[in-house]
Amino acid sequence: MKKIIRLLLFAGLLGVLVINIMNMPAILSVDAPSYNDSIDHYLEHGVEETGATSIISAILADYRSFDTLGETIVLFTAIIALLSVLKVGDSTRKEG
Amino acid sequence: MKDQVLKTIARIITPFIQLYGIFIILNGHISPGGGFAGGTMIGTSLILYTLVFGVDQAKRKFSEKASAFAESGGIILYILIGVIGIVVAGHFLANKGAGFDMGTPGSLWSAGMIPLLMIAIGIKVASTFITIFHTLIEVKDA
Amino acid sequence: MTFLQPIIDHINYLGAAILFVIGLATVVNHTNLIKKILGINIMGTGVFLFFIAIGNVTSGVPPIIDPDQPDQLFINPLPSVFILTGIVVVVSITVYSLSLVIRMHETYGSIDQEEIARMMAEEADHD
């Protein structure tokens, strides 16, 4: 019984997602709203403003380089969390 | 592991994987790739070395001290490049305004600070991967 | 065959939604903690596929500007950049949850959620 209710819930979620997707613009079209003015600016002026011919690198390390700094800090935080869970804590385990 | 074939092939193939990773990092601004992809390749080559030769020998090649140095060194290099922007151009992570050499677009020596940032990210990602793997594989069964 | 046209027009998005629901079902239905982490990874893959599908364009080439060929149609570079951030976040989540699972296995000798819950209840009864 529980399993059937779960299945119905997931089917409902999939139905909601599919209905919303069907109202989106089609894939592979240049008229999609995400292909907007900022993309045109990156593609037209990216080379002269940053000097990099690969626009993805230009956005990653120049226009949005502060974002990339945050990314490296996320990795650093993951390492700190991993080490603090696995390398520390032998003493607390024996007390418990 | 004691398999002779595995050891020989791993010893031959590891430098080539690392060279390809360095190539991907240094060509990040003129071709697909960059710091994340190249750093992952270097990290996986070290993971291959650890899997074949064991943690103890891998630790001798890439010790905890070295990994701590690379972890923090990557971020500090990134922030230092940004601070150059503050000093010269007035805002953090300035590229063209900070007087980096822009070169001719499309050549290896171009794009100012972007290759430097890619090197910093590559160091950081490679050391992160190898530290994660060494830490997870070293846990003894309770 | 006209009723198939909307499905073909959105096939990549549909795949992303199905992957997302499969991942969520894995997280909810399984009690094995490692399988739950795998489900989180599958959900992440669905989101990546959705973003990459948004960025793709018919007959578009990767956004590497070649001065010799001025009139090229490029794909949308922005979703690719965002997905790099997403991959980093998913790797970080995976690593942290794996470390927590290792600690749980050391403490309770099991990676099954219900078993661990039962042991915790027994410990609470003893206290």
> For A59, which of C20, C25, C81 is closest by C-beta distance?
C81
Task: Give the number of other Cβ atoms within 10 Å of residue A74's Cβ.
Answer: 15
Burial label, C1 (beta-carbon count in 10 A; 0-12, 13-18, 19+): exposed
Residue A30, min C-alpha distance to chain B (Å): 22
**Cross-chain Cβ contact B139/C64 below 8 Å:** no
Between A95 and B55, the higher pLDDT residue = B55
Tokens standing for residue B51: 């899997």
Mean pLDDT of B22-46: 88
> For B142, which of C64, C99, C106 is closest by C-beta distance?
C106
Residues of chain B whose C-beta is under 8 A from some C-beta in C? 30-32, 36, 105-106, 132, 135-136, 139, 141-142
Can you give the pLDDT at residue B71?
A: 87
Chain B residues near residue C87 by CB distance under 8 angstroms: 36
Helices vs strands, H then E, count in chain A? 5, 0
Q: What CATH number should be reported for the domain whose range is C12-59+73-126? A: 1.10.287.3510
ipTM value of the model?
0.81
- Name C112's bridge partners: C32
> For B29, which of A57, A75, A87 is closest by C-beta distance?
A57
**For chain C, domain boundaries:** 12-59+73-126
b/e burial code for range B9-47 (CB count within 10 A of at least 16 → b): ebeeebeebbeebeebbbbbbbeebbbbbbbbbbbbbbb
Q: Are B133 and B122 a contacting pair, CB within 8 Å?
A: no
Residue C123, min C-alpha distance to chain B (Å): 19
Q: What is the pLDDT of residues A21-70, one digit of tens each?
A: 888 888 777 777 778 888 888 888 888 888 788 888 888 888 888 888 88
H runs (alpha helix) in chain B? 4-26, 35-53, 55-61, 64-89, 114-137
Low-confidence ranges of chain C (pLDDT < 70): none
**Cross-chain Cβ contact B31/C64 below 8 Å:** yes
Closest alpha carbon within chain B to A90: B142
C-alpha B29/C-alpha B45 separation (Å) is 23
